[in-house]
Amino acid sequence: MMSWGQLGFQDAGSYFMEEFIYFHDFTMMIILGVLSYVVVFLILGLTSGWVDSGFVEGQLIEFMWTIFPALILIQIAFPSLLLLYLIEDFSKSFLVCKVIGHQWYWSYEIKTESSELLASVDCYMLPREDAFGMRLLLTDEFLMLPINVPVRILVTSDDVIHSWTLPSLGIKGDAVPGRLNQLNLTLNRKAMFYGQCSEICGANHSFMPIMLMGVYSWEFFAWLDRL
Q: Which tens digits make up the pLDDT trace of 188-221?
A: 999 999 999 998 988 888 899 999 999 999 999 9
Smallest CA-to-CA distance from 146 within 189, 98, 180, 109 is with: 189
Which of the following CATH numbers is that of domain 95-225: 3.40.190.10, 3.40.47.10, 2.60.40.420, 3.40.1190.20?
A: 2.60.40.420
For residue range 15-64, list pLDDT tens digits in order.
Answer: 889 999 999 999 999 999 999 988 998 888 788 766 666 666 778 878 88
Beta bridge mates, 202: none
**How far is Cα of residue 219 from the mean position of the Cα atoms in its chain?**
25
**DSSP designation for 227:** -
pLDDT at 134: 81
Q: In the chain, how long is the greatest CA-to-CA distance? A: 84
The answer to whether the beta carbons of residues 190 and 170 sit under 8 Å apart is no
CA gap 168, 191 in Å, rounded: 11
Q: In whole numbers, what is the pLDDT of the chain averaged over residues?
A: 88
pLDDT at 59: 80
Beta strands 143-146 and 181-185, pairing class: unpaired
Spell out the domain ranges in the chain. Answer: 15-47+57-88, 95-225
Concatenated DSSP letters of 167-205: GGGTEEEEE-BT--EEEEE-B-S-EEEEEEE-S--STTG
pLDDT at 21: 93
The strands making up 162-166's β-sheet, listed across from edge to edge, are 143-146, 209-215, 191-197, 162-166, 171-175
The helix (run of H) or strand (run of E) holding residue 152 is strand 151-157
Q: Is the pTM of this model over 0.95?
A: no
> If you count them, how many residues does the chain have?
227
For residue range 121-156, list pLDDT tens digits in order.
Answer: 999 998 877 777 788 889 999 999 999 999 999 999
The helix (run of H) or strand (run of E) holding residue 110 is strand 105-112
